Amino acid sequence: QVQVVESGGGLVQAGGSLRLSCTVFGLRFDDYTMGWFRQAPGKEREAVSCIDWYGIEIKYEDSVKGRFTISRDNAQNTLYLQMNNLKPEDTAMYYCAVDKSGGWYYTDFLAGKFEGYWGQGTQVTVSS
């Protein structure tokens, strides 16, 4: 059984930093594209970033470019999201996702059009 477990969320002031982690159990971690999504209250879920299985191909949503960095440690089965210069509009529940397809279909992934494994989310709150 595959389990996806996020951690690292919390309350931070604007301009601060947080590092989210996502550990996956029950599958060969380095075979899959992975990424982060977020959903703010009253809004639709949106993609934040994704990374290929080698950690070479990376995509970011425009509003986080230059502030967020996605990375992965395949030996530790863990995906990371380093978030710097946080803004109140970054407040959301952040979810980790694994694309089951095994391919680098980043357009579909960022549009949420994939079959995948999801975590329960970790809350990020940025105060002004």
* pLDDT confidence of residue 30: 80
Please check whether residue 86 is in contact with residue 122, taking contact to mean a CB–CB distance below 8 angstroms.
no
Report the pLDDT value the prediction gives residue 28, as an integer from 0 to 100: 84
Q: What is the pLDDT of residue 111?
A: 93
Distance CA 124, CA 128 (A): 13
Rounded to whole angstroms, how far apart are CA atoms 33 and 52? Answer: 5
Residue with tokens 């080698």: 54
Helix (H) or strand (E) holding 4: strand 3-7
Spans of the chain below 50 pLDDT? none
Q: What is the pLDDT of residue 31?
A: 87
